Structure 1
C-alpha cells in the first residue's frame, strides 16, 4: 500500500496560545533573566549551540530534571525528528530522520545512530543510557561522518555527566509513583587535594511496570530493576595537563512481558521474558597544552556488557493452544569493546594560510568482540576492528564568513563465524566528510549550509546462509549486503534576540541514500517460519524541517517549543517480505513495490511545546504538550501506531537546599503503541478467533503520577 494521505495535527491553537502568551508577557524583563548559553562538546571544537553549524538539540540538567527522566528514552520526544523502538523493557534503538535499527535478534547489527556516554561507546545498548547526574545530552541529526564515522550514518547521541566540583557537594533524591515505582539516588563531589577532585553518583530504580499477568497473578512481570553507579576523578597534574577518569557500572534485571491477545495491559504468559544487562566500563580523558603549536585531546575507553534478552514466544500457557504449543526465545550476548581517539587541535600560533585557518587532525582505533548464544542450540562470534584518520579545517574567508571542511578515511575489518559452520572474513575502506559555509549575518544570527557524507558498513547474513541448506528458495544473492552511504544537504539559521531572551534554530534538509540496507524475510516451509536478512534497496530519500524555540517572555514565564516535519521514503525498492494486513497470506513469497512508501518509525510530524511559570519566589508550574504522527512499525506489513498528543504537568516548590515536585505524565491517559506485529492466517496466534489474521501491539506508558524531591547538603 502506498499511502500519501496524512492527517495533520491541530497545532494552530497551540501556536495561537504561545503567540498570545508572548504578546501578553513580553513586558519588562530583568537583564539577568537572559537564557543561558549552551555549549556543544561533541564536535571537534567546543562551541555554543547557536554557533554550531549543524542541527543539534542540547538537553541540560534542568531539562532532564523537569522531565523526570531516568533514561534517554524519556528525553527523545523533546527533540524533533527523533524516534525510538521498544520491543524490550526500554527503547534500545534510536531512529533519527527516519533512519535507524529497530531490533536485534540473531545477526549482528551495524548501527545507524551512535550512543556515546562520557566517551564510552554504548551504541545499541540503550539500558546504559542512564541520566544519573547527567550534565547534558546532545542529539546530533544528520551524518557525523567526519567526527564519528561508521556508527553515525543518521546521527549521534552524546551524553556527558557532571564533572567533579571544586567545592564539597552532596545531594540525595527520591521519587515515588504509580505502579510501585520508586527511585533513590545520591551524589557527592569535592576536592581531595589541590590537584585531585572526585565525584560519585549512585541510583536504584524499581517499578512493577504497568502490566498485569493474569495467568501468574502477578503485577511485576514487566518490571524495572536497575542499579547504576558512576565515579569520576579529575587530576590537574600541571597547568598544561589534566586527566579525567570515569568508571561506570550498570546492573539491570528488568522483566519483559508486554504482548496480549486483546491488545491490553493484561497478559497470560507462563514464562515471562527478561531484559538484563550488566556493564562495567571506564574511560580516561587527557587534555595537554604543553606545546605552543597544538593541544592534545585524547579518550581511551573500555567496556564489557553482558546482556540477556528473552521472551515468551506464544504469549500464553501450556494448554492455551489445542496442541499444547509452548515456546520461549533467549539471547545471551557478551560484548567487549576498546577504543582510542587521539586528536591534535591547532593553536593561534599554528594557524595555516596566513593565519586564516585552524586545523584538527586525529586518529581513531576501535576493536569489538561480540559473542552470542541463542537458547542452547546456536552460537556465533562477531569481531570488528576499525581504524580511521580524520581532519578538519576552519578557514576564515572574511570577517563574517567561514569555510569548514572535514574528511575521514576509515578501514573496517569484520570476522564472523557460528555453530552452523558459517564463516565470513571481510574488510572495506570507507570515507565520509563535510563541507560547510557558516555566515554570521549579524551579532545575533548565524546562517549555515552543509553538504555532508555518512556511511554504514556492509556485512554478512549468517542466519540466511544457515537456512539455505534446508530452504531451496534462498539464493546466494542474499548472503551478503553492501555498504550504505548518504549525502546530506542542510540549510539552517540560528540566533538569539531580545537581549538573549529569545533563542531559535531552524534547519531544513534533504538526504539522498544509496544502497539502503533494509530487512527482508524468506518463508521457510520446513518449520513455518521466516528467515530474516538484510538486503540493499536501490535508494531512498528524506526531506524535512526541524525547529526549536526558547523564549523568556518575562521574569516569571518561559515558553519553549520544538517541531519536526519529515518525509522519508524508499525509491525503487521491490520487497519480498511485505504482507498486507487486509489480505490472506499464503506462505508464498510476494513481491511488492515499496517505492514512495514511508520508512518504518518515521512519523511525518513531531511536536513538543509548553510553558513554565514562576508563581512565587519558591513555587513554579510547568505544563507540556508532546505529539507524534502515526508511523509504520515495519517495512514488511502495513500496521501503524496511532497519532497522539500527551499532556504532562509538574508543580515544584524550592527552598535554598531542598525541592519537592508533584508531577503527572500522559494526564489524559492516551493509548500509545510503541511496537507492533501482524500475524497472517498462516501464522495466527489466538485460537479464540480461529487463528484469524490479527495485529498485536506493545503499549506505552499510561497515565501516571508521582512525587519527587531532593536535598542538597
Structure 2
C-alpha cells in the first residue's frame, strides 16, 4: 500500500525558487491562538492555496481526499456532509440534525452546510482530526474543517483568473485588495462557476440536468483603530443554484427523469472580530457572527418518466412522485476570549492561558412538499448553546509542556411540527483535552493526548415511528492519541505520524425503513431516523510527509489507516451488526504526489489518490468500490501571469460517492431489490489562467 503525501501537511507548497531546499512552516489559525503546525500536539492537515490552484479546485470536495482519514458523502450536487475517522453524517431529509464535523469559514459557523465550501481566495484549509471539545464543543465530535481566506493587504494588489474545461465548464474570478486610508484596509473577491455537469438525461435529451451554477462573493475590512485595537469585518455571500439528477435506474451517468431535481443554497453571513491588546496581562478578542441560509433540495423520486413501461409487461406498475425540502436556517454566535500575553503568564511565568464564554443560537424551519402527502409538512427546530471554556499551557521544563483544556456547555433544543410532535431537551455537557508534548530536539516533538467530545441527542419526527424510537441519546467519545512531528535532512523533510484510539458511547447511528405509499405499486418512501448503538471503536494511523528532494524536485503525501466497528447494535431490519465496520470509513486512504521544476517558471505535477471500499450506510450492506484516481498539472508561472493545463481522474475511473441498497425502484424489473449509486467526477481536463497586478 502506497504512502499518502499531502502537499502542505507542514508547509504551503510554494513555487520553488530553485535556490533552497528549506521548507517553510505554516501557522494554524483554528485554535485559540495561532501556532505552528509542528507545535500543535494533535493530528491535523493544512492544505494551502497552492495545492488548491494546482487542482483547479472550486469546492472542498475536490481536495479532501488529500487528507488522511477524511471522507465525504454526496447525495446532492455537492458534498454537504463530511466524515473524519469514520464519524459524520451522510445526508439529511426531514429529520433535524446535529453535525459531527464542524465547518467554519472565517470564524462563521457553517456546520452542516458544506455546500457553502467554495474555495475562492481561500488561503488555507485546516482539518483538525479528533474531538475539539475545548475549542468548539458539540459541533465537532469528529473534528473540524476550518477555511481561512486571505486578509486585506497593506499595498494595492489584485488578480483575475479563469478556467475552462470539459462539459461546458468554466469559472471566472477576481480579487482586489489594498488600503482605503492609512487605518482602513479592504479585500473583495468574486467568482462565478458554471458547468453542464456530468449527467445525460436521455428522456429529456439534455446534458445539463445535473448542472452547476455557483456564485461566491467575499468582502473584508480591517480597521486599525489604534495601536491596541484592530477590528476585522467579514462579509460572505454564496448562491448555489445547481441541478440534481444524480441517480440512474441503470446505474450509469444516463438518467430517465422527467422532472430532474435541484440543489439550491443561498447564504448571507457577516462576522466581526475585535482584538484589543491594551491590557498588560492579556489580549481581549470579541467575535460575533450572523448568517441566514435558504436551502431547497428536491428530486424526482421515481428517477423515471411516467410511461417508462408503456407497451411492456410492467405497464401499470409505474409510479410518479417528487420530494422537495425547503429550509431556512439562521445562526447567531458571540464569543469573548481572554488570551494571555507574555506578561500575563501564570505560575512564575510558566503558563499561558485562555478563558472565555461562547453563545450560539440556531433556528431552522422546514417545509416538505411530497407527492403522496396529504399536506405539506412543516417543522421548526431551535437550539441554543451557552459555553464557558478555559485552557492552560504549562511549560514544565524547556522540553516538556502540559496542555489542559475544559469546556462546560449548556445545550437547549426545542422542536415542533404540524403533526403535533413536540420535543425539548435541556442538558449539561462537557468536553476537554489533556496533552503532554516533549521536545526531543529542536526538530522533533512527541506527544500524547486524551480528549473528550460530545454530540447532542435529538428527536425522530416521523409520526409513523413508534414512541420508543421518538428520541435518541447524546453520544460521547474519548480519543487517545500519540504522535510525533519532526524534520530531517536539514529541514528538507517534514513529517508527522499519529496513532489514535477512539471509544464511542451511545453511538448515533442513522437508520431507515421502507413504507408503502398509498396508490403506488411499490413501498418507496424511506423513513430516516437516528438510533443509538451501545458502543463503537475507531482506531488507526495517520502519516503525512513533505520532502524537498532537491531544488527542482518535491515529493508529498499522506496515509490513513482506519479500523472501525459497532458494538451491541441491531439495525432496523433486525440484523445484528455487532462488530461490523461503520459507514463511510474506508480501511485505508492514500495520496502520493510529485512536482518537478524544469525551470524556475515551468513545472509539472503528477499525483495519485485512492481509498478502500466502505459501507454506504449502517442500514444495508452495499459498499463502494476501492479506487485510485490520477491527477496531473503542467504550469508556466511568469512574474505576473500563470497558465496551467490540468486534468483530474485521468484514467476515467468510475467511483461511487453515495449509494443505497435494500430497495427496488425500477418498474421494468418489478421493483426487484438492487443497489443504486451516485458517481463521482469522471475524467475532466481543462486550462486555467490568471493575471496578478
| TM bin (shorter chain) | over 0.9
Match of 1:387 in 2: 386
Q: What does the per-residue CA deviation read over 1:97-120, in whole Å, with 9 as the maximum and x for residues that have no partner?
A: 000000000011110000000011
Paired with 2:67 and 2:42, the residues of 1 have a C-alpha distance of 14
- What's the offset of the Cα at 1:298? 2.2
User: Is residue 412–residue 426 contact of structure 2 (8 Å, CA) maintained in 1?
Assistant: yes
CA deviation profile, 1:447-487 (whole Å, cap 9, x unmatched): 11000000000111111xx114xxxxx2x221111110000
Question: In the alignment, what sits opposite 2:340?
Answer: 346
2:250 matches 1:262: yes
SS of the residue 2:154 aligns to: coil
1:182 equivalent in structure 2: 170
Match of 2:541 in 1: 545
- Whole-angstrom distance in 2 between the partners of 1:78 and 1:169: 30
List gaps (5 residues or longer) in structure 1. Answer: 1-8, 19-28, 469-473, 578-590
Secondary structure, aligned partner of 2:440: coil
Between stretches 189-198 and 342-351, larger displacement belongs to 342-351
- What is the aligned partner in structure 1 of residue 355 from structure 2? 361
Q: In the TM superposition, what is the alpha-carbon distance from 1:530 to its structure 2 partner?
A: 4.0
Q: 2 CA distance for matches of 1:195 and 1:377?
A: 53
Supply the distance in 2 between the matched residues of 1:548 and 1:500 (Cα, whole angstroms): 15
2:85 paired residue number = 97
TM-score between both structures, scaled by the size of structure 1: 0.92
Superposed, 1:680-699 pairs within 5 Å as 680=663, 684-699=664-679
SS across alignment from 2:98: coil
C-alpha contact 2:102 2:143 (8 A) present in aligned 1: yes
Instruction: State which of 649, 653, 658 in structure 2 corresponds to 1:666.
Output: 649
Residue of 193, 203, 208 corresponding to 1:205: 193
Query: What stretches of structure 1 move > 6 A for 4+ residues in a row?
Result: none
Q: In the alignment, what sits opposite 2:224?
A: 236
Taking structure 1 as reference, are residues 169 and 335 closer, same or farther at Cα in structure 2, changes over 3 Å only? same
User: Where does residue 467 of structure 1 map in the other structure?
Assistant: 464
Distance in 2, matches of 1:423 and 1:200, equals 44
TM-score (norm 2): 0.94
Aligned to 1:580: none
Say if 2:617 is the partner of 1:631: no
Of 471, 482, 487, 1:491 maps to 482
In structure 1, what is the equivalent of residue 492 of structure 2? 501
Name the CA distance, whole Å, in 2 between partners of 1:526 and 1:276. Answer: 27
Q: Which has the higher contact order (CA 8 A, sep 6+)?
A: 2
Find the counterpart in structure 1 of residue 685 from structure 2: 705
Aligned partners of 2:387 and 2:410 also within 8 Å = yes
- 1:12-34 per-position Cα deviation (integer Å, ceiling 9, x unaligned): 8x99xx9xxxxxxxxxx977331
**Residue pair 2:20, 2:551 contacting (<8 A) in 1 also:** no
Residue correspondence of structure 1 range 290-309 to structure 2 within 5 A: 290-309=278-297
Counterparts of 2:108 and 2:203, CA distance in 1: 42
The structure-2 alpha-carbon separation of the partners of 1:162 and 1:694, relative to structure 1 and needing over 3 Å to count, comes to: same
Structure 1 pair 617–348 and aligned structure 2 pair: CA distance change class (3 A): closer
In structure 2, the residue corresponding to 1:575 is in which secondary structure?
coil
Asked if 1:564 corresponds to 2:547, the answer is no
Residue of structure 1 in register with 2:13 after alignment: none
Q: Which residue of 2 aligns with 1:81?
A: 69
Q: Matched residues in 2 for 1:33 and 1:229: separation?
A: 37
Matches of 1:711 and 1:515, distance apart in 2: 53
> Aligned to 1:467, what secondary structure does the other structure show?
coil
Question: 1:175·1:706 contact (CA, 8 Å) conserved in 2?
Answer: yes
Q: CA deviation at 1:396?
A: 1.1
The residue number in structure 2 matching 1:44 is 32
1:530/1:228 CA distance change after superposition, 3 Å: closer
1: distance between equivalents of 2:480 and 2:675?
38
1:162 matched residue in structure 2: 150
The answer to whether the 8 Å contact 2:620/2:662 transfers is: no
**Partner Cα separation in structure 1 for residue 686 and residue 351 of structure 2:** 53
Superposition pairs of residues 216-615 of structure 1, within 5 angstroms: 216-321=204-309, 322-323=315-316, 324-375=318-369, 377-463=376-462, 466-468=463-465, 474=466, 476-524=467-515, 528=523, 529-577=525-573, 591-615=574-598
Cα distance in 2 between the residues matched to 1:256 and 1:679: 22
Q: Structure 2: give runs of 5+ residues left out of the alignment.
A: 8-16, 310-314, 370-374
Q: Give the match for residue 11 of structure 2.
A: none
1:473-517 deviation per Cα after TM superposition (whole angstroms, max 9, x unaligned):
x2x221111110000000010012222210000000000000001
Deviation at 1:266, TM superposition (A): 0.6
CA distance in 1, matches of 2:104, 2:451: 21
Change (3 A) 1:99 1:368: same
Moved more, 30-39 or 339-348: 30-39
What does 1:633-652 correspond to in 2, within 5 Å? 633-652=616-635
Alignment correspondent of 1:62:
50
